[in-house]
Amino acid sequence: MDYQFELVGKIGSMALIRKEDQDIDYNIFARLGRELKPGMIWVTSGATEIGRLDYINRTGTELTGDPEQDKTDYAAQGQAILMQNYRQFIAPEYGVRQVLVEHTHFNDPEKREHIRKLLIRAAKQGTIPIVNYNDAVSDEENRKMELAARRRSGDVVHECVDNDETAAVIAGLVHARMLVLMTSTEGIYQDPADPATLVRDVTGKTIEEVAEKVHQLQQSCVGASRAGANGAGAKLAYALESVRNGSTVIIGHARHHLSDLVQGRVPCTRIGLE
């Protein structure tokens, strides 16, 4: 396959937070900043959770309105802080470009191609795209209605509210050799309650073999890291789609260096063809 990008990476919301302190984990941003470089595309969650923590720190209380509206307000507040941290820790010689996307951008061929060209230019111009779903302007009811209409028309649709899906779609869009999903666990477990059951390799000689192993593993995937997250089962589904598109997928803990995950020097789950 003609790979246009070496790596698309994604980090989850809770991996950017020191949960015990209810604060941003600046060490994660610093570690990522030392490794991100042009030719990579980084998909980040975190705007909503970081905005929530910032609001609490400034007011001493949480928002208590409609949950969807609260999410919108938190995301709008957190987006600036999220990007501020990436800009602070990424090497100053590299440009950083924020790319806010919505589901409609990937379901419309012209918009999808517009984004693809933007990402390709970024690599050539020595800059790093930081991609996030634009929760601040997303309305769930309208989104569901639009997606339902597209499905009735027989279209293959992408929702992309889960940034795992966003990262997988982008990896396919730019023909990335590798998709790295950083999370708050070491990878995928046979038994989520037992860290010793970490599955290191989900591989096969054919895509059918990989798919069978993924489907078996999904049976043991329960729960998620936070309310509203789709959990490990959905992560595996998006990973499988990336493998179908030619990428190798790595799922691992955000405390590890990106390069160590890529090189297999630390515990993680690797999904792909042998």
* Residue 69 to residues 80, 141, 162, Cα–Cα distance (Å): 18, 12, 18
Please, are residues 38 and 94 in contact by the beta-carbon 8 Å criterion? yes
For residue 146, what pLDDT is reported? Answer: 56
Would you say residue 51 lies in a domain?
Answer: no
Would you say residue 79 lies in a domain?
Answer: no
CATH number of the domain residue 259 falls in: 3.40.1160.10
Would you say residue 33 lies in a domain?
Answer: yes
- pTM value surpassing 0.85: yes
Instruction: Give, to the nearest 10 degrees, the angle between helix 231-244 and helix 163-173.
Output: 0
Number of domains within the chain: 1
Element spanning 8, H or E: strand 5-11
Full residue range of the structural domain in which residue 135 is found? 5-45+91-273
What residue type is 78 in one-letter code?
A: G
For residue 192, what pLDDT is reported? Answer: 84
Would you say residue 83 lies in a domain?
Answer: no
For residue 140, what pLDDT is reported? Answer: 60
Digits of tens for pLDDT over the chain (274 positions)? Answer: 678 899 999 999 999 999 899 999 999 999 999 999 999 999 999 999 999 999 999 999 999 999 889 999 999 999 999 999 999 999 999 999 999 998 778 888 899 999 999 999 999 999 999 999 888 876 665 555 554 555 666 665 565 558 898 999 999 999 999 999 999 999 999 888 899 999 999 999 999 999 999 999 988 776 444 444 447 888 899 999 999 999 999 999 999 999 999 999 999 999 999 9
Would you say residue 102 lies in a domain?
Answer: yes
Would you say residue 222 lies in a domain?
Answer: yes
Would you say residue 14 lies in a domain?
Answer: yes
Would you say residue 62 lies in a domain?
Answer: no
